[in-house]
Amino acid sequence: MTRRLPAIVLSGLIAIGVWPLAQGGAADSSAALLDSIESRRAHHAEVARQIWEFAELGYQEQRSSALLQSELRAGGFDVKTGVADMPTAFVATYGSGPPSIGFIAEFDALPGLSQEVSSSRRAAVEGAPGHGCGHNLLGTGSIAAALALAEWLASSHRPGTLTVFGTPAQEGGAGKVYMVRAGLLASVDTVVSWHPGDRNDASASSTNAYINAKFRFHGVASHAASAPEKGRSALDGVEAMNHMINLLREHLPQETRVQYIITRGGSAPNVVPDLAEVYYDVRHRDMPTLDGIWNRIVDAARGAALGTGTTMDVEVISAVYNLLPNEYLSKLMRENLLRVGGVTYAPEDQLLADEIRQTLTDPPATLPVGSQSTVQPDRPVVASSGSDLGDVSWNVPTVTMTAATSVPGVPNHSWQAAACAGSSIGAKGMIVAAKTMALTAAQLLADPRHLDMATAEFDRRRGAGFVYKARLGDREPPLDYRR
């Protein structure tokens, strides 16, 4: 473990701002790191493109995971695969001794978002998955940074350990939570990460915590016309629950988000359904508050079962914490992002961007085309989305950023985002992220006092006596949740 200054001293240094963020002794290595990543720009773009074409769903990312592992092994990393009972998860390490820096590599796609690189909706394979959140870029960008840093450690004979966590099933499968629960993150001092988006930003922002689960109601089947009195409709249980939840919305904190879909409603209208299922997703920016909301939702489900003469069971599919920001690390990363700069479009990029922009429903309310070349002002927000990176951030100081891999204004989880993720626009944003992460990690490796500062803030934000508890309990990874 790295040397730690007393928390009271660190808190004072943070408060009065006397510890310069640029301190760290990594300046001499910066050019070499940037050159290393730049020299492999085309290769990294090709790796990302291959994963974009694989477009594999959560826990099914065999080819995507294998490709990233192959890249890391070629760079001298020791790779352990199938960790935390997830076949496509891996941990790759390089170097030895403190400090220890972790990187997050995601690689799963989304259902139904298959898309060609086009300015119109055109599926490569109708109904197939696609990278509408750019995770083909995310994993590749992270290993690009790690590989450059491994070269730097070797050439400079510095101590330090690099660990790349290959994390499957971010989209609803909570792969990182199982890795945290297995203790795999305990080996690193900090985690450096990023996410594709429509802007360049390193603000100390947060996300929503969320819990999603399937509520299954069990009833008694009967002929719906000749013997309805003999039946107990499981669908009635689902509908009664949904009605109560819709009434409950008025009495929830305004930041709460509650969504549901009915995934099973019966097989025929003349048969009283004996099985029905509803899939709920509930979000709030604070996990303890979300716990209370979730208890009320489960109580509503119990009441719906009681009132309809059915029984109910609930299976939590995914549950993640809100992201715990780290302002010190974010300021460090922001300085490096400003040094790297934004994305420069070639004429063909500009043409694609202008055409995609015209497909957006509300472009005046979004960033203009051209903003991809700049870094957004430091403006922390609480994003309505959620990620299993949140659980990582409550266990180890974590910093993340966004790079402009999509045309400004393009939302993630859209066909437009999938098109950008397979284009040179996406690849250019990925290189911005890789360079920024490499520079940030180099500073942490060169001067562990940065980690002291980050850890002091981490301890303060978590609060005295905090004990992490995965909201997934002891369930096994849902390896078939996308099948």
Query: Could you give all domains of the chain from N- to C-terminal order, each with its CATH number?
Result: 7-207+322-462 (3.40.630.10), 209-320 (3.30.70.360)
CA distance 182 to 227: 52
CA distance 49 to 65: 14
Is 237's pLDDT higher than 60? yes
Q: What is the model's pLDDT at position 104?
A: 98
329 three-state secondary structure:
helix
Query: Would you tell me how many other CB atoms lie within 10 Å of the CB of residue 227?
Result: 10
Q: Rounded to two decimals, what is the model's pTM?
A: 0.91
Is 467's pLDDT higher than 50? yes
Q: What is the model's pLDDT at position 21?
A: 37
Going across the sheet that includes 100-106, the strands are 78-81, 90-96, 160-167, 100-106, 190-192, 398-399
pLDDT in tens, 39-84: 999 999 999 999 999 999 999 999 999 999 999 999 999 999 999 9
CA distance 311 to 289: 27
pLDDT in tens, 242-255: 999 999 999 999 99
**Residue found by looking up tokens 């790349």 in the block:** 164
127 three-state secondary structure:
coil
- Is 101:192 a contact under the CB 8 Å cutoff? yes
Residues 6+ positions from 347 with CB-CB distance below 8 Å: none
Dihedral sign computed on CA atoms, order 80, 85, 88, 89: negative
CA distance 211 to 286: 12
Q: Average pLDDT of the chain?
A: 93
CA distance 455 to 462: 11
CA distance 341 to 251: 45
**Residue found by looking up tokens 């040397």 in the block:** 3
CA distance 364 to 409: 9
